Structure 1
């Protein structure tokens, strides 16, 4: 998911029970540490590229958020844990001040991982005390910011997964980030019927954008009307086998399937297959967070960018969905279903779908759309530093919907707007085809 997507347009939650919020705070913070539990300190220093960050930086930055926006504001007699951390672990907040360059985060061997863990523990203790002791009026003011910080941390949980995978993916010995769970069930095989099924939706005037109570980011609103023609979405995301057919049919060598920028990207990088695919002794494998695994044709495809997604759609005589189309379809699915992040489970796309409706509608892979990431009519960013990021990234990016196998459960909803530039493919991004009716 996009870095810095932290501005929220969240009404004060109807449930402001401090015990429930404290329990959620502890659970989210523990889940972050569970993701780092199997990594060595040497692993946590790695930065594969400018877009990715070291694990240790994620651990520190998510703690910095609570120190900067909660403790500094609400704690009596606030004292920073370390005066240098405000500079080292700020991400993009111009209103907060100067920051260490993003591209150089992997060059910092100090503070050590053990010191960052102590920083997290100190912030956790102080936040526990803050949540437990604020008076009712100040707690009501702080609660939405705490919830915002927890959703921000869940975004970084996904980034911990994708960023360490990007680093390990450069290693020729194919390191294992997460051990494969011993009770991991055999992945279900997708049926031919599931792979050929389309689901139709009625066009007309639809309302899109967030509506109701609860947390949402500011870019999800305001709710507004959009007119759509009748359309259909494929019943499941594209599988490895379907994309392998595209490759074997010369998909990466046929310029007519590609946008001009996409064809230039293919030519410049000599691209011939998705990220993390490897052909070894005539057989295909894919690199996962669990190491190198055989490529299954019926497993859902991941780690393709928007250029690859559009080229495949052209080859398949279809198109990518529009953002509003996917949002309307997602409303008919349960966001509790699907494959989401399980720190002790299988963190790789594998769900095959359902007999009716959209399979893997939520979770498994982020679906690329053809829609540019732009503001909705009437959009206004949140005030202050936390409102900087959603609005100022509304250029040269495309919207993705639905979540992935690395997205924490309960984090996404139909109106959620992820966004990345069209050449990005280190996230768990996939393809769901659409067509006009």
Structure 2
């Protein structure tokens, strides 16, 4: 990881703000909501709240010595995938951990927060500041996962309950696609070392790009409806072999959380089931669907390098980022960050010279560089300040429960 060590009082303010946001995101969910697990890839809200606390506890307080854990069993229950630390509870069975309760997890968080405040008051060295900064960003990642997983859970309820009381919005028609030309040549990719970044963003290097064009807005629901109306889910010529198999296996005929009711398409979101809004970016589509749509449209997905270079042309523009009272994309506009993560055609691989940091904490990113696809940008569940143009998100090709969409490119 790379960062510029800030003042510890600033770090403590950020720590407290992030911890508070996690609790606000969880607040609309009942203790029962927070305990259930809807699929092996998702985790209960209660688990997210405890895991991010355990992460700080293990990597920040563990090395200090003399720290008395709130509960010594929590290391086994809430370790995610850190093999070097030791055995852990199986991921698919997290929903079976009914104890500790959601309330007990809240007390665990309060206990730990007091300990961190005392540690900061006593003074942190540079290494501890780095771990605290990493832990803050780690918790922000889990805030987005918490929202994704809770939405997936509620989507399985027969009566489509609301996570939030969100007002109904109008349904403007989507704007036509316009294109922006980007010059080819030698471009610098990756994080420049100023401020925080994950290790998978480092190894700044140069890539050669041929000239290309990129769509000035994300693909919208209106675009996707046209794809569906033209038989996009039934025409094998647009699909990768693995995508065609996944589509048939899972019965995909529309984006995730869409259903056809009373003569119209509706989408389940944080406000419950509502008619599909045409001008919103399409959301909850897999890499396979995004790739098939691009072929149908006579275009392609950008590489992650093309995406990063093109995003530099609108670097300050932002769409919808995390708003605890909304948690839903805005309208598609001329920005490349916000609303939905955007699939790229790039496999998730290390940059030249990539080296994970030493120790268990080095398992954070590098061990997942296999059979994953890169998404760029940010979504409506990404906390403001956590997004950046070099950020490399990644999911398997068949994943649909993330806030994932796409943008077209062409050569």
Classify the TM-score, shorter chain: over 0.9
The equivalent position to 2:84 in structure 1, one of 95, 99, 104, is 95
Could you tell me which of 329, 342, 358 is aligned with 1:349?
Answer: 329
Match of 2:350 in 1: 375
Q: Map residues 240-389 of structure 1 onto 2, 5 A cutoff.
A: 240-335=221-316, 337-344=318-325, 346-353=326-333, 359-389=334-364
The whole-number CA distance in structure 1 between the counterparts of 2:203 and 2:244 is 36
SS of 1:53's equivalent in the other structure is coil
Q: Whole-Å Cα distance in 1 between the matches of residues 117 and 256 of structure 2?
A: 41
Correspondence for 1:402 among 369, 377, 380: 377
**1:191 deviation in Å?**
5.3
Query: Per-residue deviation at 1:201?
Result: 0.3
Question: Within 2, Cα distance between the matches of 1:328 and 1:254?
Answer: 33
The reply on whether 1:10 has 2:29 as its aligned counterpart is: no
What SS does the corresponding residue of 2:143 show, helix, strand or coil? helix
CA distance in 1, matches of 2:199, 2:252: 36
CA contact (8 A) 1:335 1:410 kept: no
In the superposition, the TM-score normalised over structure 2's length comes to 0.97
1:347 CA drift (Å): 1.3
Paired residues for 1:232-243 under 5 Å: 232-243=213-224
Runs of 5+ consecutive residues of structure 2 not aligned to the other structure: none
Equivalent position of 1:36 in the other structure: 26
The structural deviation recorded for 1:129 is 0.8
Determine the structure 2 residue equivalent to 1:197.
Answer: 178
Deviations 1:388-408 (A, max 9, x none): 131111111110000100111
Distance 1:232 1:399 in 2: 19
Distance in 1 between residues matched to 2:130 and 2:316, nearest whole Å? 22
For 1:42, what is the secondary structure of its paired residue? Answer: helix
Q: In the aligned structure 1, how far is the partner of 2:213 from the partner of 2:263?
A: 37
Contact 1:335–1:412 (CA under 8 A) maintained in structure 2: no
Quote the offset at 1:366 in angstroms.
0.4
Tell me the CA shift for residue 342 of structure 1.
0.8
Bigger CA drift: 315-324 or 335-344? 335-344
Deviation of residue 332 (structure 1)? 2.5
Alpha-carbon offset, residue 352 of structure 1? 2.5
CA 335–149 in structure 1, closer or farther in 2 if over 3 Å, else same: farther
Give the TM-score of the pair, scaled to structure 1. Answer: 0.92
Cα offset, 1:171, TM superposition: 1.1
Q: Distance in 2 between matches of 1:218 and 1:106?
A: 31
What is aligned with 2:119?
130
Is the 1:187–1:350 Cα contact (8 Å) retained in structure 2? no
Corresponding residue to 1:47 among 26, 37, 41: 37
Residue deviations 1:136-155, cap 9 Å, x none?
xx432211110100000000
Structure 1's unaligned 5+ residue stretches are 1-8, 354-358
Deviations 1:131-188 (A, max 9, x none): 1112xxx4322111101000000000000100001111111100111221x6x8x568
Distance 2:381 2:36 in 1: 19
Q: Matched residues in 1 for 2:293 and 2:25: separation?
A: 33
Q: Point out the more displaced range, 292-301 or 202-211.
A: 292-301
1:6 aligns with: none
Of structures 1 and 2, the one with the larger relative CO (CA 8 A, separation 6+) is 1
- 2:318 & 2:298 partners in 1: Cα distance? 30
Find 1:82's aligned residue among 71, 95, 110.
Answer: 71
